[in-house]
Amino acid sequence: MRKAERERFGNPVIWPHSLERPEAVRICDVVMDVGAGIRPMRLYTPKRHICVEPCAQYCDVLRAAGGYEVWEMTAEEALANKPVGIEAVYMFDVIEHMEKAMGLRVLQLAQEVAQYQVAIFTPIGFMTQTYDKWGLGEDSWQLHRSGWMPEEFPDWHIILRPRHGEKGFIAIWDREKTSTHK
């Protein structure tokens, strides 16, 4: 990590997330922030912010920063355990790091767990990434393994290019507004 970034964000470094909260994203008390890395969701401050992160080094940064409940495990492990009381599941810059079949399974589990809403952000289509942009040497966790298109989320609310003209989208699944809930 560059010296200027350490000075700007502190050490240990929690990078601010550049997404702004779309109106369609509910404010919830208990959120599960899947794949938080060192850039947890900052759309608002929930009463309980659970960061699910499989990378031990990223978990150490989150714990040192304080204010987060850190679960060191994969998205599938966390969601398959069917935790109760999770109002929203957020996966920002996450599913593209999974093989497509695993991403689809994780999305389904998130819909089963979330009481109200699931929200993701991902690039439009496949975008090559092979290195840890945070400079912590965790290249295998940062490798992009799949690409996603808005039309793969037919029952979700889609917001195109939500930040700085980036070729990405937010997809929001709302339990009350879709017919896909159980």
What is the phi/psi pair of residue 60, to 5°? Answer: -60, -40
Please check whether residue 134 lies inside any domain of the structure. Answer: yes
In a domain, 12, yes or no: yes
The answer to whether position 168 is within a domain reads yes
pLDDT at res. 136: 66
Q: Number of structural domains, the chain?
A: 1
Q: Considering the domain boundaries, does residue 182 fall inside one? A: no
Residue with tokens 């089963």: 112
What is the rounded CA–CA span in Å between residue 51 and residue 145?
Answer: 22
Q: What is the pLDDT of residues 119-176, one digit of tens each?
A: 999 999 988 776 666 666 666 777 788 999 999 999 999 998 765 556 899 999 999 8
Nearest to 50 by CA among 24, 78, 77: 78
Compute the half-sphere exposure of residue 3: CA atoms within 13 Å on the CB side of its CA: 0
Query: What's the CATH code of the domain at 56?
Result: 3.40.50.150
Q: Could you tell me which residue, 110 or 43, shows the higher pLDDT?
A: 110
pLDDT at site 78: 98
**Could you give the CA distance from residue 30 to residue 50 in angstroms, rounded to a whole number?**
8
Question: Residue 28 belongs to what domain range?
Answer: 3-177
pLDDT confidence bin for 51, thresholds 50/70/90: very high
Instruction: Decide if 67 is inside a domain.
Output: yes
- For residue 1 the two structure tokens come to 């990590």
pTM summary value: 0.86
Please indicate, yes or no, if residue 94 is contained in any of the structural domains.
yes
